[in-house]
Amino acid sequence: MAGQRSGIVTPEAVQLEFEGASLGSRAPALLIDLLIQSAVFFAILLAGAGLSGQIGQVPEWVGVTLIGLLTFATVWGYPIAFETLWRGRTPGKAAMGLRVVTKEGAPVRFRHAAVRAVLTLVDLYAGFGAIGVVSILVTKRHQRLGDLVAGTLVLRERTAERPPTPVQFTVPAGVEGYAATVDPGGMTSEDYATVRSFLLRADSLGAAARTRLGTLLAQRLAAKLSHVPPEGVSPELFLVVAAARYQQRFRHAAQATPGPPPAGTGEPRERPGEQSSASAPGDGGFAPPS
Do residues 17 and 122 share a domain? yes
Residue 21 belongs to what domain range?
5-157
Count the alpha carbons within 13 Å of 47 in the hemisphere toward its beta carbon. Answer: 8
Query: Coil, helix or strand for 28?
Result: helix
Report for 91-105, 155-169, 240-254: range of highest mean pLDDT: 91-105
Q: Measured between alpha carbons, how far is 193 from 243 in angstroms, rounded to an integer?
A: 9
Report pTM.
0.53
Residue type, 285: G
One domain for residues 148 and 19 = yes
Instruction: Give the span between the Cα atoms of 235 and 287, in whole angstroms.
Output: 9
- Please give the Cα distance from 65 to 38 (Å, whole number): 18
Domain boundary among 157, 181, 196: 157
Q: What is the pLDDT of residues 202-249, one digit of tens each?
A: 888 888 889 999 999 999 999 999 999 998 899 999 999 999 999 988
Residue after which a domain boundary falls, among 157, 191, 217: 157
Inter-residue contact 180 to 240 (CB < 8 Å): no
Which of 16-30, 36-50, 117-131, 204-218 bottoms out in mean pLDDT, i.e. has the lowest?
A: 16-30
**How many structural domains compose the chain?**
2
Residues 142, 10 within the same domain: yes
